[in-house]
């Protein structure tokens, strides 16, 4: 296929590099420097997709970020991306794209029947039709709508591309490299400020690339290229193309997405696809320019109707004609630029100007070139279905109410200019109070909230000279504040032909007897009649009208539709636009890929994985790991084909019978030092700490101020003013913050320091009746007899030349010890324990066996200390001192906490001694009671008791202390189980605690 | 993302800090009689002001110091930051 709409020798594309690409399965050619849109237009393709609601044919409307129509499904290097704007996607060799939103094909679309049945789809259609019956929504309506409408298809595959995040600081961030961006960046950079200049497109220069202006005896384009070349050489300037500043957040932080590889067939090795920049700027200059707005007329969504500036850009940048027989429809001078550009390339156009008698240099130039201009004329309706074939035009009265006789003229495109709308999104996001400017019929930034200034067209200033003057000045002033340098740039001579006034006309009235659809929002198919319905039905707030009609809610976020929507509401309501108000601008300005937002935090990188120093030994010994917070801990060590149930039972039995060893390095450890250390512990824990002797450990429970248990653990007095605190794995960080809070803010008089030593110490618990025999051989020089190292005792020892701490503490309820060594010696310790322990039949055990052991002993842990229970609930009331005050004590006599039937931890055994009770099951009196069945308690933890070889669970049960011996039902609607159970003591094994003291 | 000036470390991004609530709340002294109402006010009742507000933040991924920050809860403007030991005014 030939590029029959491509001009020779025009444009900025690289004609030496021809590229092939596929659209809807067909091969076409374009050039390097094309967008997918310009390449398709060069090939005469104007039918790109179908509209969202009515499935009307869709072509191209713009040439950039504002494009509402031309969104495609893109295929690149085995990946697919939905809703890519063809006007933004740069062409690369082998690019593939397909239409979205048409089934079975773009040329024959079943959904287009909606277009002829549009009575069914007025404003609020979805709300009205699909609300009832509810069950129909998921099964019938939604799949139907999704198939017929819907946008592109998101890939369900893993995204293999890499995305990066970058944090950056600068003096000035300048968003947009048009005249105002370049001028302000140049002035600031010359003054020594650190500048970041961001351009959304591949080419720098904004409108300077396409405007017929003259700056200092150079064309706008040449002047821009000179400035850019100079900026690129300056060490204090970072200049980025393909980079969209899309969000303005608090304290002058802006986020920019840089498309590094999207324009290449394949991401280069070691390169990311996209990079997200978090930029903290001292000052922000918004030079985002403006977007041309459409004029509303009949069938204004027909392919071939497009913005006049887009037609000019396709011509001047890409050397592509959007038509050979163009009709220009304008209310200001901008349309003339496009007409003149056509003329220069030998294409005659007709200009319809809504104005009666405009006076400006450019109008005269057009007249002198012999361009056919019709003043006080409008397009009433476009004709043609898949492409404009002709236009119905008419003269319009001075009051713009009456249409004259309608004539049909041939044309193959209609280039529309309804004047310009400043791109104020970033300013508005920053908290700027935007205001309506009557002169340009659009909102402009008002009072700044943050350090932000808006320049040039984005601020409603449409003359180049004023823009450059302001921008040089602003760049200079702001940078001077920061760098104290004072290098002023003098304004070059500027020549511009067009005037910047416009005719306040935005919507062509319907001719009598005609009912053309006149669209406001091209992507979401919102027509004038839809807004009229919404207002008739009583919607008033513009935010409500927006949601009811979906005006401005598509992926283009109403960049071309918002203002005309406001104009319509204001004219129906007889209000001025500022009274109608505006909808809120929120980030992102343009769609951002999820990949860019997520960055490198994918899979295992989404949070750090913490591993014990003994991890590789566990791996080698067939450990099956489990996530414990951010830690990986062995769950059990698999032998042969053992299941978790079998393996953990074996390990737990071996602890009860011989001896086991468990890696407890993950426990939180906090070193506490200072003369007031004991006093701190006494205030933090519920029990007494002032009299704990050196060389002794004590179990403690700490509360929050509301009386709820926060954490538990043992703390050991290492020396006079030195304590070693342990916390649960999960609460380690919170407990440290908690201690710091009280030491820094509440009791600053206490002379104590706390620091985390979790990573400094590695720990191994050895538990079981033969653990002392093992310990004796590990520490032959230490007296580890029951007298020498009694329960809750502590001593230091020498483990074959390595310094070790030995604690006699137990979580398993067996005779047990915990050995700590410096983390560097962890593997040495572990291997020695395994080696020496062999003759005592030692086996390593994982967290599953650990749970089993603690559950059947009735030791509470995280599943009982779940942020909802007090000491009494956990049978820890014996540890609550009534002699001293401590954190949370005053809360413990709250009415609910002391009620006689207060919940308490109990043991639960199934009557059949066979059926395991699912954790989370509810305990109820009557399993057949009508719903809602009163819940008496819940199963907090379940295990298979290795002592009795039957299931055993812990539960938190109302009036637990009086329920022992009662029969209840454990119900799990999730697992569909009803299990008759008996309530027993939570201390199922060794209720007197003799083993730990043996 | 807020930009908070830690009195010990200087300007840092919000993601280095954790929020700690109203800085004007004073914990009742230990071992002192206190009415239910006063205790409840300390534990539960917070004003949730719109506007200027002294609040606590901890520089968790930095110096680990608790600091006091005067911030406008509506505009996020930060006026002053204090060390834990400094009184708020
Ligand atoms: Zn700090």
- Choose, out of A251, A431, A608, A897, the residue to mutate when testing the contact with B (most B CBs < 10 Å): A251
What's the CA gap between A144 and A382, in Å, rounded? 32
For residue A246, report the phi and psi dihedrals to the nearest 5 degrees: -110, -10
Per-residue confidence (pLDDT) for residue A144, from 0 to 100: 56
Which positions ≥6 away from A130 have C-beta within 8 Å? A136, A137, A141, A145
pTM reported for the whole predicted model: 0.88
Mean pLDDT of A146-164: 77
Per-residue confidence (pLDDT) for residue A757, from 0 to 100: 97
Name which of A32, A6, A12, A11 is nearest A21 in CA terms.
Answer: A32
Output A114 or A15, whichever has higher pLDDT. A15
Q: How much of chain A, in percent, has pLDDT values that exceed 70?
A: 95
CA atoms within a 13 Å half-sphere pointing along the CA-CB vector of A30: 31
Enumerate residues 21 to 60 of chain B having a beta carbon within 8 A of any beta carbon in chain A: 27-28, 30-31, 34, 39, 42-44, 56, 58, 60
Grouping H, G, I as helix, E, B as strand and the rest as coil, residue A228 is: helix
Output A460 or A112, whichever has higher pLDDT. A460
pLDDT tens digit sequence for A374-409? 999 999 999 999 999 999 999 999 999 999 999 999
For residue A743, report the phi and psi dihedrals to the nearest 5 degrees: -70, -35
Q: Is the pLDDT of residue A862 over 80?
A: yes
Examine residue B53 and state whether it is found in any structural domain, yes or no: yes
Examine residue B31 and state whether it is found in any structural domain, yes or no: no
Examine residue B34 and state whether it is found in any structural domain, yes or no: no
Mean pLDDT of A410-427: 97
Residue A640 region, left (φ>0) first, then alpha (ψ -120 to 50), else beta?
A: left
Per-residue confidence (pLDDT) for residue A138, from 0 to 100: 58
Examine residue B35 and state whether it is found in any structural domain, yes or no: no
Per-residue confidence (pLDDT) for residue A550, from 0 to 100: 82
Q: Is the pLDDT of residue A23 over 70?
A: yes
Examine residue B88 and state whether it is found in any structural domain, yes or no: no
- Is the distance from CB of A392 to CB of A365 less than 8 angstroms? no
Examine residue B55 and state whether it is found in any structural domain, yes or no: yes
Q: Is the pLDDT of residue A876 over 80?
A: yes
Q: Which domains does chain A have, with CATH numbers?
A: 14-148 (3.10.20.440), 163-290+422-495 (3.50.50.60), 294-418 (3.50.50.60), 610-666+760-864 (3.30.1360.120), 668-757+868-893 (3.30.70.1400), 899-997 (2.40.30.110)
Burial of A693 (0-12, 13-18, 19+ CB in 10 A): exposed
Burial of A143 (0-12, 13-18, 19+ CB in 10 A): exposed
Per-residue confidence (pLDDT) for residue A280, from 0 to 100: 97
Q: How many CB atoms are closer than 10 A to CB A679?
A: 17
What's the CA gap between A533 and A305, in Å, rounded? 26
Q: What is the dihedral of CA A362, A364, A366, A372, to 10 degrees?
A: 140
Q: Residue B75 is part of which domain span?
A: 3-25+40-83
Examine residue B89 and state whether it is found in any structural domain, yes or no: no
What's the CA gap between A651 and A649, in Å, rounded? 5
Which positions ≥6 away from A923 have C-beta within 8 Å? A908, A935, A936, A937, A938, A939, A955, A957, A968, A969, A970, A971, A981
- Binned at pLDDT 50, 70 and 90, residue A154 comes out as confident
- Binned at pLDDT 50, 70 and 90, residue A549 comes out as confident
- A713 sits in which H/E element: strand A709-719
What's the CA gap between A83 and A711, in Å, rounded? 50
CA B10 – ligand 1 centroid, Å: 7
Question: What is the CATH number for B65?
Answer: 3.30.2270.10
Q: Does B89 touch chain A (CB under 8 A)?
A: no
Q: Is the pLDDT of residue A119 over 50?
A: no
Total number of domains constituting chain B: 1
Per-residue confidence (pLDDT) for residue A581, from 0 to 100: 82
Q: CB–CB of A705 and B43 under 8 A?
A: yes
pLDDT tens digit sequence for A712-744? 999 999 999 999 999 999 999 999 999 999 999
For residue A240, report the phi and psi dihedrals to the nearest 5 degrees: -125, 125
Q: How much of chain A, in percent, has pLDDT values that exceed 90?
A: 82
User: What token pair was written down for A612?
Assistant: 């014990």
**Nearest-Cα residue of chain A relative to residue B12:** A280
Output A70 or A417, whichever has higher pLDDT. A417
Examine residue B75 and state whether it is found in any structural domain, yes or no: yes
**DSSP labels for A379-438?**
EEEEE-SSS--EEEEEEB-TTS--B---EEEE-SEEEEE--EEE--HHHHHTT-EEEEET
User: What token pair was written down for A27?
Assistant: 């091969």
Per-residue confidence (pLDDT) for residue A114, from 0 to 100: 58
Q: Is the pLDDT of residue A781 over 80?
A: yes
pLDDT tens digit sequence for A524-539? 888 998 899 889 888 8
Per-residue confidence (pLDDT) for residue A931, from 0 to 100: 85
Grouping H, G, I as helix, E, B as strand and the rest as coil, residue A857 is: helix
Among candidates B44, B60, B84 on the partner chain, residue whose Cβ is nearest the Cβ of A745: B84
- Binned at pLDDT 50, 70 and 90, residue A108 comes out as low
Which positions ≥6 away from A975 have C-beta within 8 Å? A918, A921
Per-residue confidence (pLDDT) for residue A53, from 0 to 100: 74
Measure B79 CA to nearest chain A CA, in Å: 12
- Is the distance from CB of A934 to CB of A924 less than 8 angstroms? yes
CA B1 – ligand 1 centroid, Å: 17
Q: CB–CB of B60 and A748 under 8 A?
A: no
Mean pLDDT of A965-971: 98
Q: Does A897 touch chain B (CB under 8 A)?
A: no
Which ipTM score applies to this complex?
0.98
Q: Could you give the C-alpha distances from A32 to A12, A15, A453, A759, in angstroms and in order?
A: 10, 7, 36, 55
């Amino acid at each position: 296929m030939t590029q029959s709409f491509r001009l020779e020798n025009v444009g900025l594309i690289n004609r030496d590099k021809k590229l092939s690409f596929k659209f809807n399965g067909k091969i076409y050619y374009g050039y390097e420097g094309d967008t997918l849109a310009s390449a398709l237009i060069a090939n005469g393709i104007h039918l790109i997709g179908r509209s969202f609601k009515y499935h009307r044919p869709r072509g191209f409307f713009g040439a950039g970020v504002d494009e509402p129509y031309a969104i495609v499904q893109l295929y690149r290097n085995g990946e697919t991306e939905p809703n890519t704007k063809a006007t933004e996607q740069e062409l690369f060799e082998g690019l593939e794209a397909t239409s979205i939103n048409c089934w079975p094909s773009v040329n024959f679309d079943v959904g287009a029947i909606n277009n002829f049945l549009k009575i069914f789809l007025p404003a609020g259609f979805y709300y009205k039709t699909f609300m009832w019956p509810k069950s129909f929504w998921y099964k019938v309506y939604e799949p139907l709508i999704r198939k017929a409408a819907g946008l592109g298809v998101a890939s369900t595959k893993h995204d293999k591309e890499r995305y990066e995040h970058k944090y950056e600081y600068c003096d000035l961030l300048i968003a947009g490299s048009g005249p105002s961006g370049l001028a302000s960046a140049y002035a600031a950079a010359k003054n020594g400020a650190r500048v970041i200049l961001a351009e959304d497109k591949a080419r720098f220069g904004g409108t300077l690339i396409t405007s017929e202006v003259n700056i200092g005896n150079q064309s706008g384009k040449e002047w821009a290229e000179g400035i850019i070349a100079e900026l690129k050489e300056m060490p204090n300037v970072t200049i980025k193309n393909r980079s969209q500043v899309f969000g303005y957040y608090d304290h002058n932080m802006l986020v920019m997405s840089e498309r590094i590889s999207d324009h290449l067939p394949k991401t280069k090795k070691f390169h990311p696809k996209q990079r997200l920049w978090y930029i903290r700027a001292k000052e922000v200059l918004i030079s985002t320019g403006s977007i041309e707005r459409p004029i509303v007329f009949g069938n204004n969504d027909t392919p071939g109707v497009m913005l006049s500036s887009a037609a000019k850009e396709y011509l001047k940048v890409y050397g592509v004609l959007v038509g050979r027989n163009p009709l220009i429809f304008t209310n200001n001078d901008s349309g003339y630029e496009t007409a003149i550009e056509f003329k220069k390339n030998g294409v005659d156009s007709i200009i319809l100007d809504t104005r009666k008698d405009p006076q400006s240099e450019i109008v005269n130039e057009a007249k002198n070139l012999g361009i056919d201009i019709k003043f006080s004329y409008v397009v009433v309706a476009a004709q043609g279905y898949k492409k404009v074939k002709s236009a119905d035009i008419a003269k319009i009265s001075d009051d713009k109410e009456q249409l004259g006789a309608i004539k049909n003229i041939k044309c193959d495109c209609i280039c529309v200019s309804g004047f310009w709308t400043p791109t104020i999104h970033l300013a508005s996001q920053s908290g700027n109070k935007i205001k309506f400017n009557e002169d340009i019929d659009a909102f402009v930034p008002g009072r700044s909230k943050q350090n932000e200034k808006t320049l040039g067209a984005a601020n409603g200033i449409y003359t180049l000279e004023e823009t450059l003057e302001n921008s040089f000045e602003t760049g200079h002033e702001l940078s001077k504040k920061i760098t104290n340098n004072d290098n002023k740039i003098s304004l070059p001579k500027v020549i511009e032909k067009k005037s910047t006034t416009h005719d306040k006309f935005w919507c062509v009235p319907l001719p009598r007897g005609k009912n053309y659809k006149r669209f406001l929002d091209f992507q979401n198919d919102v027509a004038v009649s839809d807004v009229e319905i919404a207002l008739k039905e009583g919607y008033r707030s513009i935010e409500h009208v927006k949601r009811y009609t979906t005006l401005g809610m598509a992926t283009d976020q109403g960049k071309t539709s918002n203002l005309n929507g406001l104009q319509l509401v204001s004219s129906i309501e007889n209000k001025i636009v500022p009274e109608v108000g505006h909808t809120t601008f929120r980030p992102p300005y343009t769609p951002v890929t999820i990949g860019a937002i997520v960055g490198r935090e994918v899979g295992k990188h989404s949070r750090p994985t913490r591993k014990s120093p003994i991890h590789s030994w566990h791996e080698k010994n067939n450990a099956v790991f489990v996530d414990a917070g951010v830690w990986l801990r062995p769950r059990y060590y698999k032998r042969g084909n053992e299941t978790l149930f079998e393996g953990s039972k074996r390990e737990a039995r071996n602890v009860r019978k011989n001896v086991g060893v468990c890696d407890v390095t993950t426990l939180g450890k906090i070193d506490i030092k200072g003369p007031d250390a004991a006093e701190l512990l006494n205030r933090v824990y519920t029990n007494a700490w002032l009299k704990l002797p050196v060389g002794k450990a004590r179990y403690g429970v700490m509360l929050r101020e509301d009386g709820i248990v926060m954490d538990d653990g043992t703390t050991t007095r290492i020396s006079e003013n030195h304590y070693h605190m342990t916390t649960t794995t999960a609460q380690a960080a919170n407990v440290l913050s908690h201690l710091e809070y009280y030491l820094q803010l509440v009791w600053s008089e206490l002379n104590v320091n706390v620091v985390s030593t979790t990573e400094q110490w590695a720990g191994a618990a050895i538990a079981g009746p033969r653990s002392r025999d093992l310990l004796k051989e590990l520490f032959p020089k230490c007296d580890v007899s029951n007298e020498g190292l009694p329960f809750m005792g502590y001593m230091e020892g020498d483990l074959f030349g390595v310094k070790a701490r030995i604690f006699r503490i137990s979580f398993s309820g067996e005779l047990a010890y915990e050995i700590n060594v410096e983390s560097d010696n962890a593997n040495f310790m572990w291997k020695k324990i395994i080696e020496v322990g062999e003759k005592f039949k030692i086996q390593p055990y994982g967290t599953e066996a650990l749970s089993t052991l603690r559950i059947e002993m009735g030791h509470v842990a995280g599943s009982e200390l779940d942020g909802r229970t007090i000491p009494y609930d956990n049978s820890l009331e014996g540890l609550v001192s009534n002699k001293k005050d401590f954190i949370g004590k005053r809360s413990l006599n709250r009415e609910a906490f002391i009620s006689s039937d207060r919940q308490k931890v109990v043991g639960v055994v199934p009557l059949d001694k066979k059926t395991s009770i699912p954790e989370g099951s509810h305990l109820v009196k009557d399993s057949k009671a009508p719903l809602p069945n009163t819940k008496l308690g819940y199963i907090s933890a379940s295990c298979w008791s290795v002592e009795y070889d039957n299931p055993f669970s812990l539960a938190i049960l109302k009036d637990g202390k009086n329920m022992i011996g009662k029969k209840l039902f454990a119900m799990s609607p999730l697992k569909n189980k009803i299990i008759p159970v008996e309530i027993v003591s939570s201390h199922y094994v060794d209720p007197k605690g003799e083993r730990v003291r043996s | 993302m807020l930009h908070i000036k830690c009195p010990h470390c200087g300007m840092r991004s919000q993601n280095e800090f954790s929020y700690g609530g109203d800085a004007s709340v004073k914990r009742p002294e230990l071992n002192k009689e206190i009415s239910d109402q006063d205790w409840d006010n300390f534990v539960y009742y917070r004003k949730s002001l719109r506007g200027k507000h002294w609040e606590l933040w901890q520089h968790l991924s930095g110096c680990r110091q608790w600091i006091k920050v005067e911030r406008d809860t509506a505009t996020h403007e930060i006026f002053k930051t204090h060390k834990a030991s400094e009184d708020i005014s």
